Amino acid sequence: MAPPDDMFGDDDYPAYTMGRAAEITGASQDFLRRLDEAKLITPFRSAGGHRRYSRYQLRLAARAREMVDAGTALEAACRIIILEDQLEEALRENAQYKRQQETGTT
């Protein structure tokens, strides 16, 4: 397990309770549950079964809330965000592959 200092800098560390996550994102707790049902974010569970969210998950939730507030259906917003996230990852991997090809490393 990482030392506490390292965990707070980790975007994937589940540091936020559902109440705090709702407060940070400006969404209701029910909205966060619906994002879980739509498979946009899957919160971590504490030993007691409580939902815990990472900063990365909060960014996705905030983006979904913005899109829904602008009139996009929840399911469509979740699918768009998932596809955007996949595209970003593919572009990152492609750039890394190109750098490796240019330097001759594998």
Fold observed for domain 10-103 = Multidrug-efflux Transporter Regulator; Chain: A; Domain 2 (1.10.1660)
Q: How far is CA 57 from CA 5, 10, 28, 97, in A?
A: 20, 12, 15, 27
Q: Which residue, among 42, 52, 56, has the nearest Cα to 85 in the 3D structure?
A: 56
pLDDT (tens digit, 9 = 90+) per residue, 35-78? 999 999 999 998 999 999 999 999 999 999 999 999 999 999 99
Write down the pTM of the prediction. Answer: 0.80
**Residue 6, pLDDT score:** 57
**Residue 1, pLDDT score:** 47
Stretch (H or E) spanning 17: strand 16-17
Q: Which sequence spans correspond to the domains of the chain?
A: 10-103
**Residue 2, pLDDT score:** 47
